[in-house]
Amino acid sequence: MRVSLRWLGLFLVLFSFESQSSIEVKVRLTPQPSDLIAQLDLEDYVKAVVAAEMPALWPLEALKAQAVAARSYAAAQMKRHQGDDYELTASTKDQVFSLKTLKSIQMDKKKWASVIKAVNATRGMILTDAEGEPYWAYYHADCGGHTEQPKDVWGNQQESGTTDDEGCSLRAPWSVTLDQNALGKDLAVISPVSHGIKAIKVIEKTGSGRVTKLEIRGLEGVITVSGEDLRRLIGFEKLKSALFTVHRRQDTFVFQGTGHGHGVGLCQMGARYWAAQGKTFQEILTHYYPTAQLSHMKPLDGTTSVRRLAKAARLSEEKR
């Protein structure tokens, strides 16, 4: 493990152990604003990301699937930002990473044994697309029963299959009640029309049922917003997903939904469920990324080879 830190042009070697990989990643540290960029082995980066993104006590095959997804996403960003000062940020904007977690992994190998094992067992493995390019392996907490196409969440992105998760459709729905005045304040960022909200109506949904367009009627007119924009304005933790219904109750609006997160790619709760059912990480990855294939990253330049490791059987034919 070798970590160097760059700050205002100065290079500091923070800690240095045996090098694990010839591929290094440059991560801009948070909180922002920050000029700190950590440069470290990709495999060490993946360990810290897996430790932050998924509970270490979860089944090993779920942790392995998470490791491949995290490494693939990092590889896609490294390719996009080749030659830039940094390739990834350390926040949820990309993947959660901290030097503190990395140090903890190095110092307490027993506590993090399953994370270390999952990353080592999938060392260098990433998902690639039909052209052999690193795959944008997005992931989220809970699909609520159905995953989502990236283009339906963020617009023009890669084509990716979606799937159903039997384990995720059984959980109780969440509910959040928002006062109409508070809601109006949140929406005032985009339009004064939202002052005095009278009605909110869902007018468009994706195939999986996620809200893509809402009509909001205020005292001074009508605006339309997307489900993801409404989540951003209200707060991603309040409105946990775009898989919701909304109705008015007196001076409040009640949102009821399932799932947590954008719904694209690997579902962490689903990965946990499938791993507990005895599925392998390859099967889990094929379930969530049906158009991707598992490949090995080529060292040095961060590009990938397209050598296929395994073609896992589909868990479910129920895909759109």
Q: CB 211 → Zn ion: shortest distance, Å?
A: 18
In the bound state with Zn ion, the residue whose beta carbon lies nearer, of 126 and 266, is 266
Residue 275's nearest CA partner among 115, 98, 72, 61 is: 61
Q: CB 235 → Zn ion: shortest distance, Å?
A: 22
In the bound state with Zn ion, the residue whose beta carbon lies nearer, of 149 and 304, is 149
Residue 70's nearest CA partner among 114, 123, 142, 107 is: 123
In the bound state with Zn ion, the residue whose beta carbon lies nearer, of 43 and 148, is 148
Give the count of beta carbons closer than 10 Å to the beta carbon of residue 69: 33
Residue 67's nearest CA partner among 47, 81, 83, 86 is: 47
Q: CB 285 → Zn ion: shortest distance, Å?
A: 14
In the bound state with Zn ion, the residue whose beta carbon lies nearer, of 21 and 162, is 162
Binding part of the chain for Zn ion, among 73-81, 148-156, 158-166, 278-286 by CB under 5 A, reads 158-166
Q: Which residue has the tokens 């990938």?
A: 304
Q: Which region, left, alpha or beta, applies to residue 265 given φ > 0 means left and ψ of -120 to 50 means alpha?
A: left
Binding part of the chain for Zn ion, among 140-148, 156-164, 242-250, 298-306 by CB under 5 A, reads 140-148
Is position 143 an interface residue for Zn ion (rule: CB under 5 A)? yes
Q: CB 270 → Zn ion: shortest distance, Å?
A: 3
Tokens at residue 320, please?
Answer: 């759109």
Is position 165 an interface residue for Zn ion (rule: CB under 5 A)? yes
Contact positions with Zn ion (CB under 5 A) in 10-39 = none
Binding part of the chain for Zn ion, among 66-74, 85-93, 152-160, 264-272 by CB under 5 A, reads 264-272
Cβ-contact 162, 209 below 8 angstroms: no
Q: CB 291 → Zn ion: shortest distance, Å?
A: 18
Is position 168 an interface residue for Zn ion (rule: CB under 5 A)? yes
Binding part of the chain for Zn ion, among 21-29, 117-125, 205-213, 263-271 by CB under 5 A, reads 263-271
β-pairing verdict for 24-28 and 88-89: parallel
Q: CB 266 → Zn ion: shortest distance, Å?
A: 9
- Binding residue count for Zn ion, defined by CB under 5 A: 5
Q: How far apart are the first and last CA of the chain?
A: 43
Compute CA distances 127 → 42, 118, 212, 288, 295, whole Å: 15, 16, 28, 11, 6
Binding part of the chain for Zn ion, among 38-46, 136-144, 240-248, 298-306 by CB under 5 A, reads 136-144
In the bound state with Zn ion, the residue whose beta carbon lies nearer, of 114 and 162, is 162
Alpha-carbon distance 165 to 112, whole Å?
Answer: 28
Q: What 8-state DSSP symbol labels residue 93?
A: T
Is position 267 an interface residue for Zn ion (rule: CB under 5 A)? yes
Alpha-carbon distance 178 to 182, whole Å?
Answer: 7
Alpha-carbon distance 246 to 254, whole Å?
Answer: 6
In the bound state with Zn ion, the residue whose beta carbon lies nearer, of 239 and 284, is 284
Q: Which strand ranges, in their side-by-side order, compose the sheet holding 211-218?
A: 199-205, 211-218, 221-225
210 Cα distance to chain centroid: 17
In the bound state with Zn ion, the residue whose beta carbon lies nearer, of 97 and 139, is 139
Is position 270 an interface residue for Zn ion (rule: CB under 5 A)? yes
In the bound state with Zn ion, the residue whose beta carbon lies nearer, of 41 and 165, is 165
Q: CB 283 → Zn ion: shortest distance, Å?
A: 15
The residues, ordered by sequence, that sit 6+ positions from 121 with a Cβ below 8 Å of its Cβ are: 64
Binding part of the chain for Zn ion, among 71-79, 100-108, 164-172, 226-234 by CB under 5 A, reads 164-172
Binding residues for Zn ion (CB under 5 A): 143, 165, 168, 267, 270
